[in-house]
Chains A and B, each alone.
Chain A
Amino acid sequence: MAKLMDYDRALELFEPVLGFEVHIELSTKTKMFSDAPNYFGGEPNTNITPVDLGLPGSLPVVNGQAVRYAISLGLALGCSIAPTSRFARKNYFYPDLAKNYQISQSDEPIAFAGSVEVELPNGRMFTVPIERAHMEEDAGKLTHVGGATGRIQGAEYSLVDYNRAGVPLVEIVTDIIYGAEADAPELAKAYVSTIRDIVVGLGISEARMERGNLRCDANISLRRRTPEGEPPAPLGTRTETKNVNSLRSVERAIRYEIQRQAAILDDGGTITQETRHWHEDTGQTSAGRPKSDADDYRYFPEPDLLPVVPSAELIEELRAALPEAPAIRRRRLKAEWNFTDLEFQDLTNSGLVNEVIETVAAGAAPAAARKWWTGEIARTANAQGVDATTLVTPLQVAQLVALVDAGTLTDRLARQVLEGVIAGEGTPQQVVDARGLAVVSDDGALIAAIDEALQSQPDVLAKIRDGKVQAAGAVIGAVMKAMKGQADAARVRELVLERATALPE
């Protein structure tokens, strides 16, 4: 296990310098360069055409929808859209790369020079500079067989499924990011989270990190601090951490790399320029392929494809259709919903802003929507180790809130209904009906239960009649117990007092 330096100590000695490459899988119907379905689950090697398999003679044709998505994303990142952009071939051999070159964009990307405003958990606003966003195709999927771990080392052989080959990607590359300082891990998480919000808002990607729809490679280097008045030290050697499959991992991986690199540098060692793999289970990174000048991808303009020259009209049409930027939207929502800073921060950190928006849109009060999502639903998700959004839909939550508002459910009953909805028993109303969980509002049934309770406790009845109303508590408790909690306690109290006088002596 690598030696780690205390985080605060690392920050005293070094300035972290960051850079991110985020790959977004676009949710088009077909692939980037072929008309195969853009879907890579299912039976291996079935969602492919001769193009995806790189069969001799096959030729790529650009998916126009993917280009429109890429332009929209570029605009949402505040980028300029290139008047002319081109595809290029990136040449390298690898078994998951059907043609042994990837069609990508090199020196003429579709979008360049933008920025993204990111809000950190401590309320600090940070502007992340975007160098470029470019279009490319995904590779196939390798499965390593034999060996202990299912990893590449020690495997006897590997199997290749090209279903994912050709899935459209946009790669967003940041400029070098300075000034994150101790917030570097949180900035990394907030940046990726913001990118996710942007693409979800645009409706151009499922953006599920756990499914690889959104992948983040994090570059990090440390620069030794120099005393005031001295020139800054040169930039340190960077590592590129891959295989970071959740927002939490992004944060952890950055923190880990800062501590690891700081320990090496402080011991007088040097950082190797290399790819590092993040291991979710151990919370560590391990060394991968060294990066070197020997990497020679021999980029050249893809002769099978023509330049992309978007018209000003198309760009303006897509710009006009852009949703609000996440940071601006957050400010607006906080005001509209009348949340405190703490409440809104809590919600933002949970990553469930969109769910609350949709729940409010479906009729729920903002406070109730927030309470359910960040409370019971988030707790259940955490316990089950799944994403909260996979458990229930905003519409279901809104329906649940409506049942509470109407007095059909108490909060306690509503939690049971939610449990039923999560278990797949249907809509909240269906769960109420099936489990018989509604608040009993039939006074007849209540009165019968109250009368019985009063008559079985004549001393209590006498006290109530004497005006000692606090004695009613014992009867109310008995009634609620008899009703299995499916009664409105306030109404029970009302009726107890009423019946105490109404009952014959």
Chain B
Amino acid sequence: MTTDLTRLTADALAIKLSSGEVSSVEATQAHLDRIAAVDGSVHAFLHVASDSALAEAADIDRRRAAGEELHPLAGVPIAIKDVIVTKGMPTTSGSKILEGWVPPYDATVMTKLRAAGLVSIGKTNMDEFAMGSSTEHSAYGPTHNPWDLERIPGGSGGGSAAAVAAFEAPFALGSDTGGSIRQPAHVTGTVGLKPTYGGVSRYGAIALASSLDQIGPVSRTVLDSALLHDVIGGHDPRDSTSLTDVWPSFAEAVRNADVAGLRIGVITELQGDGFQPGVMERFREALALLEGAGAIITEVALPSVEHAIAAYYLIMPAEASSNLAKFDSVRFGLRVNPKGGGTVEDVMSATREQGFGAEAKRRIILGTYALSAGYYDAYYGSAQKVRTLVQRDFAAAFANADVLVSPTAPTTAFKLGEKTGDPLSMYLNDIATIPANLAGIPGISVPVGLAAEDGLPVGIQFLAPAREDARLYGVAAALEALLEQKWGHTLLSQAPDLSPSEMNATDEGAV
């Protein structure tokens, strides 16, 4: 019976919980059991909070029994990307430099999850400080794609996507700076949405690039992402960049999904060359389905997209080089004393040398270069101008289309180790997801099937104008319904069964 609970969507589980058919302790235990069974192979979690999760679940059950009015999602387990600061749970952002750090405060999204009664079952693996597209840059070893354990689960939020795809959690929190929610969704057959910049508070999300980062939902269905987004969204006075907008119910947008008359603009620059045939095939098939449902498919140009990666790989490292300066061995985290002692400068330098992985060091040096005297105008300054051009392109495109569409990434999941030696080719993999971060607009990835050549999941990305996240939920939910009607099943029901194995993550402790 308990294995069945892990197969439920968050929405379905919530209904069983509120009807009293299932207790939160049962639901939580079922997911903990599943983690114990499969996470040795998947390694989605850096920390599994068994005791605190069961205690939180018991509390929800008690409050429900006492007749207290609870949030509809109360008692549903959730996994948290380790970039999010959690009181009482270690938070490392995938880095050795923060090993064992237990924050004295909660991120705003955590405060909101706790207020809604969601049960945090653990922290998920990620590329160090969210720098990567494969989780191979995690200081704690990579996460494996549940569809093929030899392959990457995407990144940086590969842990959250894999946890959801492997039925270790019904949904999870992710963060997206250049595609870290959407690209893992694409390669794991899950759903992930990057909200409009400012739609979800960044307070307590360990910053990679402040002007690009955004927290968002990761799930198996569009509705579950919408339900989670409804919980975590909204204004936060602790984040100056948080929008004061009153947001519509995204779950409502899912339930009212309809694409009739919707103008969908296919981005010319994000197809063809460099895109895997199997990815393009599924992409075109999805467009045909939407057209059949009444959507109007057009083609739009985003000429500045060719410079988007270049701008991104200047802005992101520049901001990261400054954001990561606080890891200096003084107030928290690792301290490495150089041999024979030394001044505080030597201790800081030794700590940062040993505490940061190769990719973090690469980006810090790159960002320091882009900001340094004599280069600022040419690099950082020019990149900020390209940002303006990308925004203008989107504004023009949205004049002719309600949403834009592209494959979420050029290829399906590549093999672990395939690109670690070539940072630039890893960077180029983010071509389709980066423009949305530069422009601050929302984007969603939804599964559209498996590529014929390798049998691996393929995602489609929809983009909407800033503040129109609801539009994305509508079109994604409509496509999801059309596809599942055509297939007669969900995509994830086709994922391989994972054989039980030893659990890897330490229970209730630092990894």
Contacts and interface: CB of A to CB of B under 8 A. Distances in A.
B371 A58 contact: no
B120 interface: no
Given A296-B373, A304-B240, A58 B325 contact: no
Nearest to A297: B373
A366 interface: no
Contacts of A160: 330
A370 interface: no
Interface string B220-247: 0000000000000000011111000000
B240 A306 contact: yes
A98 B237 CA distance: 22
A95 interface: yes
A279 B216 CA distance: 56
A306 B372 contact: no
Interface in A41-70: 50, 53-62
Central interface residue in A55, A56, A298, by most chain B CB within 10 Å: A56
B173 interface: no
Given A91-B325, A101-B325, A304-B210, A56 B240 contact: no
Nearest to A293: B373
B373 A59 contact: no
A298 B103 contact: no
B371 A55 contact: no
A3 to B, nearest CB: 32
B380 interface: yes
A430 interface: no
Nearest to B318: A300
Given A54-B331, A56-B332, A300-B376, A62 B325 contact: no
Interface in A220-253: none
Given A56-B91, A57-B203, A93-B345, 5 more contacts: A59-B203, A59-B239, A100-B328, A158-B344, A293-B373
Interface residues of A, number: 31
Given A93-B348, A298-B372, A306-B241, A59 B202 contact: yes
Contacts of B331: 53-55, 98, 162
A50 B241 contact: no
Interface in A275-319: 293, 296, 298-300, 303-306
A57 B345 contact: no
A53 B202 CA distance: 17
Interface string B295-323: 00000000000000000000000110110
Nearest to A61: B240
B325 A57 contact: no
A196 interface: no
Contacts of B322: 89, 91, 101, 298, 300
B57 interface: no
Contacts of A162: 331
A303 B211 contact: yes
B103 A55 contact: yes
B371 A303 contact: no
A437 to B, nearest CB: 58
B240 A98 contact: no
Contacts of A300: 318-319, 322, 371, 376, 380
Contacts of A100: 325-326, 328
A415 interface: no
A99 interface: yes
Interface residues of B, number: 44
Given A55-B103, A93-B345, A101-B322, A61 B372 contact: no
B240 A60 contact: yes
Given A50-B104, A300-B380, A59 B326 contact: no
A53 B332 CA distance: 10
Contacts of A99: 325-326
Nearest to B83: A57
Nearest to A100: B325
Which of A53, A304, A305 has its CB near the most chain B CB atoms (within 10 A)? A304
A140 to B, nearest CB: 10
Contacts of B319: 300, 303
Interface in A371-419: none
B98 interface: yes
Contact of B103 (A57, A60, A61): A57
Nearest to B129: A56
A94 to B, nearest CB: 9
The 6 closest A-B pairs by CB, nearest first: A100-B325, A303-B210, A298-B371, A303-B211, A57-B85, A57-B204
B214 interface: no
A50 B210 contact: no
A276 B317 CA distance: 36
A160 B202 CA distance: 28
Interface of B: 84-85, 91, 93, 98, 101, 103-105, 107, 202-207, 209-211, 237-241, 318-319, 321-322, 325-328, 330-332, 344-345, 348, 368, 371-373, 376, 380
A303 B210 CA distance: 6
B466 to A, nearest CB: 15
Contacts of B321: 91, 298
Contacts of B203: 57-59
B152 to A, nearest CB: 26
8 contacts: A56-B101, A56-B332, A57-B206, A91-B321, A99-B326, A298-B322, A299-B376, A300-B318
Contact of A56 (B237, B326, B348): B326
A372 B325 CA distance: 55
A66 B163 CA distance: 46
A58 B332 CA distance: 14
B342 to A, nearest CB: 12
Given A160-B330, A296-B373, A298-B372, A55 B325 contact: no
Contacts of B325: 91, 93, 99-101
Contacts of B380: 300
Given A95-B344, A99-B325, A296 B104 contact: no
B207 A57 contact: yes
A101 to B, nearest CB: 5
Contact of B328 (A55, A93, A299): A93
A293 B321 CA distance: 21
A304 B348 contact: no
Interface in A147-178: 158, 160, 162
Contacts of B238: 59, 61
A98 B331 CA distance: 8
Contacts of A56: 85, 91, 93, 98, 101, 103, 206-207, 326-327, 332
A61 B237 contact: yes
A298 B322 CA distance: 9
Contacts of B202: 59
Q: Which of B328, B330, B372 lies at the interface centre, i.e. has the most chain A CB atoms within 10 A of its CB?
A: B330
A478 to B, nearest CB: 76
B147 to A, nearest CB: 32
Interface string A476-490: 000000000000000
Interface in A88-121: 89, 91, 93, 95, 98-101
Interface centre among B209, B322, B376 (most CB of A within 10 A): B322
B371 A91 contact: yes
Nearest to B201: A59
A95 B330 contact: yes
Contacts of A89: 322
A305 B328 contact: no
B128 to A, nearest CB: 13
Contacts of A50: 103-105
A91 B325 CA distance: 8
A54 B330 CA distance: 11
Contacts of A53: 331
A441 B322 CA distance: 77
A93 B352 CA distance: 12
A309 to B, nearest CB: 14
A314 B84 CA distance: 39
Given A55-B105, A56-B332, A57-B85, A62 B372 contact: no
A35 to B, nearest CB: 9
A52 B211 CA distance: 21
